[in-house]
């Protein structure tokens, strides 16, 4: 099949977990580029209202199947009713702490959904897949910035599901090299769509830094606990590679472009290549949004590392993608989303 620009954008992409945080931003960017989008999501960590918001932002239609990616009969129905050209597989559980206390839940959902999906893709001869992996597969990196070729290891069941799935996909490609697979290892996605219509909306008390900062700024939570200020970093607090979720979404569009052009199995870091400390993020958030964020320093969180940021050269050279949004954009858009959607 040849792909000129007219054909390209009529491709139909199945997005599993498309109602979730990264999925819904990616659906918007695909629709803006005239891809057709079909979503399957069981709404275990998202709300159906997101579908209307995606339609409002893009003025495009999107087909939604409410259901589980582990349900092979449902997948068959989706593939029968739609000629799917490629799949982006976001669906999965992602809370590190919960994965430690409920490992079976994580292994069952993350592995079963991927196996079921790949089996049905094979059945329908759809062999182009983008998979959501994570920087967590680098475990405790010996050096920085982190390159894709670094050794892999994990420190929790969530991370192990990602590492095992990467291995499954590598074996699948080895067995049949007509597959095209892009594994994307995300660093720390934050921010929200500039419309303020979609963003990160976790239930309960957030585990991650930015949603926690936002809830302290809006006075839903009293005080941010900063986990340690005695790391070997610029100010002693942990350093991470925060990436705007819209930049991340565009990384998926670039991955789809890659799949259209080449067969193979490719792995890329998606980050900005820059690290910011917890205090730098908090201070930027306060300044950009002109709000206060109470915080206190507490003990280190078990399992945390001092610094984590990406070498993004490979994604830049091979996907022709790089992040463009600043830490200020990320802070502004995260807050804007919550302010606009406050009940």
Within 10 angstroms of residue 297's Cβ, the number of other Cβ atoms is 15
State in angstroms the smallest separation of the CB of 233 from ligand UFG: 9
Distance between CA atoms of 148 and 266, rounded to whole angstroms? 10
Q: For ligand NAD, which is the closer residue by CB, 109 or 312?
A: 109
User: Tokens at residue 269, please?
Assistant: 């870091």
How far is the CA of 71 from the CAs of 29, 77, 117, 299, 328, in angstroms?
27, 10, 9, 43, 41
Q: Does 188 help bind ligand UFG (rule: CB under 6 A)?
A: yes
Element (H or E) spanning 32, and its range?
helix 21-32
> By CB under 6 A, what part of segment 224-283 binds ligand UFG?
224-227, 238, 240, 278
Please give the distance of CA 114 from its chain centroid, rounded to a whole number. Answer: 16
Site membership for ligand NAD, residue 46 (CB under 6 A): yes
Identify residues 272-311 at the interface with ligand UFG (CB under 6 A): 278, 301, 304, 308
Nearer to ligand NAD, 21 or 212 (CB): 21
**Does residue 331 belong to the site contacting ligand UFG (CB under 6 A)?**
no
Decide if residue 48 touches ligand NAD (CB under 6 A).
Answer: no
The residue length of the chain stands at 343
Catalytic positions are 158
Q: Which does 92 bind (CB under 5 to 8 A by kind): ligand UFG, ligand NAD, none?
A: ligand NAD
Indicate the residue among 54 and 323 with the shorter CB distance to ligand UFG. Answer: 323
Cα–Cα distance for residue pair 32/59, rounded to 1 Å = 9
Contact 79, 91 (CB under 8 A): no
289 binds ligand NAD (CB under 6 A): no
Sites of contact with ligand NAD (CB under 6 A):
17, 19-23, 40-46, 68-70, 90-92, 94, 109, 113, 132, 134, 186, 189
């Amino acid at each position: 099949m040849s792909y000129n620009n007219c054909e390209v954008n009529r491709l139909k992409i199945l997005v599993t977990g498309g109602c979730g945080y990264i999925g819904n931003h990616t659906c918007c960017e695909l629709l803006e580029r005239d891809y057709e989008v079909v979503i399957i999501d069981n709404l275990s960590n998202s709300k159906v209202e997101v579908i209307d918001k995606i339609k409002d932002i893009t003025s495009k239609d999107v087909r939604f199947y409410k259901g589980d990616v582990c349900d092979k009969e449902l997948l068959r129905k989706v593939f029968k009713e739609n000629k799917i050209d490629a799949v982006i597989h976001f669906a999965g559980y992602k809370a590190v702490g919960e994965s430690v206390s409920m490992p079976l839940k994580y292994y069952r959902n993350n592995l079963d959904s991927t196996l079921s999906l790949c089996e049905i893709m094979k059945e329908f001869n759809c062999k182009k897949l983008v998979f959501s992996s994570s920087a967590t597969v680098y475990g405790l990196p010996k050096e920085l910035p982190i390159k894709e070729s670094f050794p892999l290891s994990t420190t929790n069941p969530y991370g192990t599901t990602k590492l095992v799935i990467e291995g499954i996909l590598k074996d699948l490609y080895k067995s049949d090299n007509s597959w095209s697979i892009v594994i994307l290892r995300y660093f720390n996605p934050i921010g929200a769509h500039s419309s303020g219509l979609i963003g990160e909306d976790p239930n309960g008390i957030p585990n991650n830094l930015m949603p926690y900062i936002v809830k302290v700024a809006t006075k839903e939570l009293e005080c941010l606990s900063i986990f340690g200020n005695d790391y070997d970093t610029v100010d002693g607090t942990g350093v991470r590679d925060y990436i705007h979720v819209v930049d991340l979404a565009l990384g998926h569009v670039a991955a789809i472009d890659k799949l259209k052009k080449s067969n193979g199995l490719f792995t890329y870091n998606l980050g900005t290549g820059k690290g910011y400390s917890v205090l730098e993020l908090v201070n930027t958030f306060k300044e950009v949004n002109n709000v206060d964020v109470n915080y206190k320093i507490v003990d280190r969180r078990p399992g945390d590392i001092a610094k984590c940021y990406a070498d993004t050269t490979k994604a830049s050279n091979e996907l022709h993608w790089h992040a463009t949004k600043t830490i200020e954009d990320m802070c502004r858009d995260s807050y804007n989303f919550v302010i606009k959607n406050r009940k």
